[in-house]
Amino acid sequence: MAAAGMIQTHKQTARQAARDIAAGVRSAREVVAAALARLDALEPTLNACIDTFHEPALAQADHVDARRAAGRPLGPMAGVPIVAKDNLCLGQDTYPGRTTCASRMLEHYRSPYTATALQKMLDAGAIVIAKANLDEFAMGASGEHSAFGPTANPWDPARTPGGSSSGSAAAVAAGLVPVALGSDTGGSVRQPAAMTGLVGLKPTYGRVSRYGLVAYASSLDQVGTLTHTVADAALALTIIAGHDPLDATSAPHPIDDYAAAPGQPIAGWSVALVEPAGPVHPAVADALERAARALSASGVRVSQGHLPHTALGVAAYYLIAPAEASSNLARYDGVRYGHRAALAPGEGLQALYTRSRTEGFGPEVRKRILLGTHALQSGYHDRYYGRAQRTRRLIQNDFTALFADGIRAVLMPTTPGPAFRLGEKLADPMALYLEDAFTVGANLAGLPAIGVPMGLTPPHPSHKHTPLPIGVQLIGRPYDEAGLLALAQALEAAQGPTSPTTPTTHGNP
């Protein structure tokens, strides 16, 4: 594939690529081959993917081209290359890859079925070119807790792309694909979106099926998307949203016309600007002010809002999520699932359990399992887990009160600052946990939220500092993804989307 062809392809949004393929302007094979070539060129620097699917992806592209040549109908994502976070199960019928959750515990696991959200993308014609790297079992905020090594930020490879959907974000930001699926338990789609200049959408809990999403914290997990544009986020949500009888938590709530949502009028709507409870980078504060001005210029009434219990969100989250992880990950014991350790003659079942879990799980996962197990112990359950659940209710009530007062969405920062350097916060777990300070509230309340890029940090006078993306987020009413997409479109129109060609792997945007 010629370099010029590669450049033209990786500039495209999903909508543009699908239109070109359907019109015969470009073949699906050409688009997918260019994506694979770009992945091969950049992957040694990014480490964004765990498994890649060259031959299966090209075979699927040929199938799309054959359908078009025969005049058969094509899906809305026909021929569009995507990646999926490697905690989403992918069956073996077409793509003979693994579902590892970036863990040695599942290093060799091959799922017999495909996650519902991912299957819907495949049914719409999308072509999976890779499974994306992540923090092990989605436990992390920097992409550094993977058994397969850390992922680099395409804007500056010395920095994190955020986590836990690190590979998904890096793949889209580097122009490998226009759309990636991720998961958001406490901000794991929105936080990396902010750090890589992308649109990150976390739907309402229950809006998208969790069937086939390997569980971390079942009351918090939600499949989400990472894209360059709000329109592509709307397209992806249109495809993956909907009730699924295979998921008991999937909601039978009507689906809005998400594709039309970005263009709907927003004049007269009310948005609450919630100032950060803790310290933020000056560029974050500036982005928040510019976002508020952009919404006001679109006719939105922006007022000051207050979420009094937001500051307690991290503490509540890091009790509830590990407690649920302790339960969910108990199945990985070397007997029922996962890595099985070798035993010396005479060693028993207890040694098998202990060694299998010690060898299979990384240190961050082991730490969270231990924390969650302690929080659920008799004598501690009400003191820790019970209190965290009561705090969760207070956080939910704060949002409910704002929405009852006529507020359509809440405007907040996404992260305290831009992407930080790899390794910078590994020795300080609390600093890493506080990266989720502004994102966990939406998960605890089960609300939809969308992260939108709002420019870059200013250049450093020494010219040694790469300008880095900054994002803001909007948190909406339950099942009002359409409203969030409309508001996000106004921000995108004011700021302009981050071009797929802007990031590089050399730190020179």
| DSSP one-letter string for 241-271 | BS--TT-TT---PPPP-GGGGGGS--TT-EE
Task: For the beta carbon of residue 441, count every other beta carbon within 10 angstroms.
Answer: 31
**Mean pLDDT computed over 139-144:** 97
**Mean pLDDT computed over 101-107:** 98
**Mean pLDDT computed over 107-118:** 97
Give me the pLDDT at residue 378, please. 84
Quick: pLDDT tens for 204-242: 999 999 999 999 999 999 999 999 999 999 999 999 999
Q: Are strands 469-476 and 199-202 parallel, antiparallel or unpaired?
A: unpaired
Give me the pLDDT at residue 336, please. 87
Quick: pLDDT tens for 235-261: 999 999 999 999 999 999 999 999 999
pLDDT at 104 over 70: yes
Higher local confidence (pLDDT), 93 or 267: 267
- Exposed, middle or buried by CB within 10 Å (0-12, 13-18, 19+), for 54? middle
Question: Do residues 471 and 287 touch, judged by C-beta distance below 8 A?
Answer: yes
Report d(CA 388, CA 403) in Å as an integer: 23
| Region of poorest pLDDT, from 103-107, 187-191, 458-462 | 458-462
Give me the pLDDT at residue 396, please. 98
Please identify which of the residues 27, 142, 188, 356 carries the catalytic annotation. 188
Higher local confidence (pLDDT), 182 or 496: 182
For 206-245, letters b (16+ CB in 10 Å) and e give bbbbbbbbbbbbbbbbbbbbbbbbbbbbbbbbbbbbbebe
Please name the helix (run of DSSP H) or strand (run of DSSP E) that holds residue 17, with its range, or none. Answer: helix 14-23
Backbone angles phi, psi at 392, to 5 degrees: -55, -40
Say whether 164 is catalytic. Answer: yes
Coil, strand or helix at 350: helix
Higher local confidence (pLDDT), 98 or 500: 98
Quick: pLDDT tens for 313-342: 999 999 999 999 999 999 999 998 899 999
Please identify which of the residues 164, 168, 209, 356 carries the catalytic annotation. 164
Q: Which amino acid is at 327?
A: S
Say whether 188 is catalytic. Answer: yes
Bridge partners of residue 84, in order along the sequence: 131, 181
Question: Do residues 507 and 155 touch, judged by C-beta distance below 8 A?
Answer: yes
**Mean pLDDT computed over 461-487:** 90
The dihedral built from the CA positions of residue 226, 227, 230 and 235, taken in this order, carries a sign that is: negative
Give me the pLDDT at residue 380, please. 86
* CATH 3.90.1300.10-classified regions of the chain: 3-261
Report d(CA 431, CA 417) in Å as an integer: 12
Report d(CA 437, CA 414) in Å as an integer: 9
**Mean pLDDT computed over 150-174:** 97
Confidence of residue 2 (pLDDT cuts 50, 70, 90): very low
Please name the helix (run of DSSP H) or strand (run of DSSP E) that holds residue 38, with its range, or none. Answer: helix 28-46
Task: For the beta carbon of residue 5, count every other beta carbon within 10 angstroms.
Answer: 15
**Mean pLDDT computed over 45-64:** 98
**Mean pLDDT computed over 296-300:** 98
- Exposed, middle or buried by CB within 10 Å (0-12, 13-18, 19+), for 201? buried
Give me the pLDDT at residue 5, please. 32
According to the CATH classification, is domain 3-261 in 3.90.1300.10?
Answer: yes
